Amino acid sequence: MRTSRTFAQDALKFKEKLLAWGSRFNEIAWLDSNEYELETGEFEAILAVEAFTAIKTDHINAFDKLKEYQETTADWIFGYLSYDLKNDVEDLTSSNFDGLHFPDLYFFQPQKLIFIKNDKIEFHYLRMVDDEIEQDFKEICDMEDELATERKVVSVTPRISKEEYKNKVESMLRHIHRGDIYEANFCQEFYAEDAEIDALDIYKALNKISAPPFAVYLKLENFNLISASPERYLKKKAKNLLSQPIKGTARRAPDVEEDLRIAAELASDPKEQSENVMIVDLVRNDLSRIAEKGSVQVDELCKVYTFRQVHQLISSVTARLAEGIPPVEALRNSFPMGSMTGAPKISAMKIIEKLEESKRGLYSGAVGYFTPGGDFDFNVVIRSILYNSDNRYLSFSVGGAITAKSDPEKEYEECLLKAKAMREVLSNL
């Protein structure tokens, strides 16, 4: 059943009430655009709760299983694709340490689905629960403000030292200078064992700091994702595809003039531009395999977008999906996203696996949804905290593109810049 209501409250306040109400369920997917002006999506926010059906699997034939589930369900489904689905797409393996133990793929069909758009709340409930809409709306509106509680400090440890990181970047540079690859995204993990957190509280704190266009709070059983992602992986609307890779990062400054100067320097930095252009070429190549001939275009190249924590270079690549290509195939043929791998893609992924110490799992994967008609929208899981509430293992990873012009010291500094907001909320600063 589908019905809409107007809420007579501040939109931000109402979203807080809606998320607090939704947190009681075992399965939660919360997607928030934070009213960002970047072409973010169809809705200001989405809450999907209480699984009616679900699919959870490892990487073996994962995309085939997802295709069958998506086509059979023919409904809204929400979930994630982990980076290690690369092993389903290509003849690759993942053998690095994994403290999180998330499934490689997990999607669910919600019983209750709520959208916020244009100051209206829209309910899409399965028939079996549609008699609960009025009561749920009343409960949401009547939710009382939650009192702030003191968060426990979580001390994170780098999986590798600064010197080890720099040595590994040097190894990657040797691969680049030999011509094995042109660029690769190298990441490092920060982790905490025996961590006790309120995942929703951490999400709210992180979102308050970052307010990105692709924020996600996802809880599936004991698997929690707290994401402040600024990056879209791939969106499909009708036949139109949109990918918006990010490559190129610079710090913000409190002084307005200095901040504008930093953004201008990023826009004209040849190293940052070359990183972005190489990934744009990779995205164009990926999309060309599933697109109508001649339809792949670069609508924006290396445009500076400013977020609360950083400036970023973002490009927008569009295409039209070729006739007869199922929605899941558009994902399979472009996964993992080029901004988190490198070029050439397969060689880069092999070198990444050899040099990194941790299994990426959901980090640098994607979270999003499919509509009943087969449209979809997925982010890139970066600037994100992952938490397994069963074994109380917490993890976040950061990284950057390594090219021939990379300086290991500066690459390490960029990692710390990207980790800043996550460390703040865990340190309760």
The answer to whether 370 and 77 have CB atoms below 8 angstroms apart is: yes
Cite the active site residues. Answer: 231, 247
Q: 254 preceded by cis ω (within 30°)? A: no
The answer to whether 356 and 188 have CB atoms below 8 angstroms apart is: yes
> How far is it, in rounded angstroms, from Cα 52 to Cα 37?
34
Q: 327 preceded by cis ω (within 30°)? A: no
For the chain, the C-alpha Rg in angstroms (whole number) is 21
DSSP β-ladder status, 77-81 and 310-320: unpaired
> How far is it, in rounded angstroms, from Cα 358 to Cα 107?
24
Amino acid at 242: L
What are φ and ψ of residue 32, in 5° steps?
-130, 125
H-run or E-run covering 346? helix 345-355
The answer to whether 292 and 31 have CB atoms below 8 angstroms apart is: no
Name which of 96, 59, 171 is nearest 353 in CA terms.
96
